[in-house]
Chain A
Amino acid sequence: MDDALVRTGRALRLMLLTALAVLFLIPFYLLVRGGLASEEEITAPGWTLFPTSPHWSNVRELFTDPDVPMARALLNSSLIAVATTLGTLLLASLAGYGLARIPYRHADAVFYAILGTLLVPAAVTFVPSFVLVSSLGWVSSLRGLIVPTLFSAFACFVFRQYFLGFPRELEDAAQVDGLGYWRTYWRVVVPNSRPVFAAVGTIVFIGAWNAFLWPLVIGQGRDSWTVQVALSTFTTAQTVQIHELFVAAAVSILPLLLVFLLLQRYIVAGVERSGIDD
């Protein structure tokens, strides 16, 4: 009797989860459907489950569009996202370690000053930021696109929380061996912290890949367009071609989905050990 109840409960839960999973996947389905359909199929009154003859030519069209250098944009986005991720991981993890582990009188004050920036809505300090970067002469350079975004208070916060929970015994052993902070960090702490680097790295990578306003305004010239900027050309034009927009959108998220599927094991493990919530 009890056993049957448990089994029914389990089946119900599985059904509910499956239904939710289908709901969560629908937008991806719509993206692919829209991207492979012809304009007539999309706007037809009856719902076609899937284009009868998928228009793979839409993909070719996208990459040969004379007005939108999509391949170049993918390359730019990859470059920027990788550089931003590596830079952020380096800077934020060092800072997080220093804040967590090096006794210093003003450490708490520095920590709260960093944390406080999370509260400032970046969109409204946008113009001063732009003027500042421009006065450094960084407009339309890779530097201008990357460097100002490297200082993520969120990443620093996660690293600090993680390092607070890092087993002290490991570090103590290293210090007995005569290693200073610097070498302890690189030889002991970093190699034992891969999951948290993977977790923060993924989040930073997504943010960098999806950034729109900053690359739009800082990057000048079609050669410096990122994927998001290229994508926006399909939504602002007076002639919206839905299939073109959708195929571009699908192409723009594909690299991220792949990164995600490959890394998600580490992400979960990283969050688990980061103590983000302690």
Chain B
Amino acid sequence: MPISRRLLLAGGAGIALTGCGSNTGRGGEEGPGRPRLSHWYHQYGEPGTRQAVGRYAAAYKDAAVRIEWRPGNYDQQTAAALLTDSGPDVFEVAGPTVEQIQAGQVTDLTGLLKDVKGEFDPVILAPRTYRDRVWGIPQLVDTQLLYYRRSMLDAAGVRPPQSLDELVDAARRLTRKDVKGLFLGNSGGAGALGGTPLYAAGLSLVTPGGQVGFDDPAAARTLGKLRRFHTDGSLLLGAPTDWFNPASFTQGLAAMQWCGLWALPQVKKALGDDFGVLPFPPDGPAGRPSVPVGAWAAAVSSRSAHREAAEAYVKWLWVERTDYQQDFAQSYGLHIPARASLAARADRLKSGAAAEAVRFTKEHGYARPLLWTEASQTAYLDALSRITREGADPGSELKAVVRKASAELHRVRSRG
């Protein structure tokens, strides 16, 4: 055996003559008192974003910050990296998830928000708050909306839909040979909409008390109506780009599209004033318009060798440097700043469709609850897809989801 081990090491060393660029920068010191931090971002599509975050990092004096710009499946990469010492010090995350918090993978950032907590929109702060502690600092707010083409609606004699029934009807009447009425993404709506129709029915995914929020006949009724889009043939499916990209709408493949505020500059450039935005319309007596909001947040890894330095850097960038926060939210794609004082000063959000979107967000915004786990989401999306695409019975499908989600809620609530 000693022979073989030596051979193995010799073979390994012979091949690995050179390292590949620099290492992760973990644990290193650069000059006295200047720790090296690695900061991960997912790949933003808007040109210039990468250069911008590099600029911010370079301006920080108390640590040498290295930006990691990660393409591909970002959640999976961070989840794997957080299990090791080679992960990030600071990373942006759509969560953090309740499992990440409970497993102690991220640090408590409550102290960073001491004086400004009230400034953050509670809708996006709540999913990052667990047992009254804050685990991620929201960087910006992303709002999802329904875009519609004014000229096409006028030509078909359809008014902008104010209820789910009107939306179903409008989508059907707007469908032509080469133009479909509505684009809800290539998976036919399940992925893009998620819990949005439930909120439009006056329900929720999780109640404030931590119970399943849609154990109600109204849920089956509303989700059942989404089936109509498919039976009417009014959905665009199999487009080259998905719902988060406005190309299908701007190329005239669909008269209406579910997309995000981030796409508004592109839509405006392509269509001028020939479009409008709406929230997802309400359904049923308890219904209300529904506007999903998401946020990327900055979190600090518990395995960071420089936790304090990492937290200080996050505080500097995402709490103190309001100029950078404004630039980040406004200069590349269009997003709403996470803080009220900045949102109020954002010129690009003051007029037209953007101003409407901000108003919808303020009045009807909802975010995916912290306790709504990935396993619950998968069960729910599977059911939603089967109901809408395959015509499965909404009642029995939802019953199975309620069972799964209750078990998941029980699991995460009963954890230390």
Contact = CB atoms under 8 A, between A and B. Distances in A.
Q: Do chains A and B touch in the complex (CB under 8 A)?
A: yes
A76 B83 CA distance: 27
Most chain B C-beta atoms within 10 Å of own C-beta, residue among A137, A140, A146, A242: A140
B221 interface: no
Nearest to B244: A238
A229 interface: yes
B375 interface: no
A237 B251 contact: no
A130 B71 contact: no
B21 A134 contact: no
Nearest to B79: A127
Interface stretch (A55-63, A83-91, A113-121, A156-164): A83-91
Interface string A230-274: 101100111110100000000000000000000000000000000
B247 interface: yes
A202 interface: no
Most chain B C-beta atoms within 10 Å of own C-beta, residue among A212, A224, A236, A238: A238
A179 interface: no
Q: Which 3 A-B pairs have the closest CB atoms?
A: A238-B45, A139-B86, A143-B16
B112 to A, nearest CB: 26
A220 interface: yes
A140 B23 contact: yes
Interface string A18-50: 000000000000000000000000010100000
Given A139-B24, A221-B68, A67 B84 contact: no
A242 B38 CA distance: 32
Interface in A183-237: 212, 216-217, 219-224, 229-230, 232-233, 236-237
Given A45-B178, A143-B12, A223-B20, A216 B77 contact: yes
A238 B86 contact: no
Interface string B153-188: 000000000000000000000000010000000000
A43 B262 contact: no
A127 B77 CA distance: 10
Given A45-B178, A83-B15, A239-B45, A141 B84 contact: no
A141 B19 contact: yes
Given A87-B11, A141-B16, A67 B47 contact: yes
Contact of A140 (B18, B20, B50, B241): B20
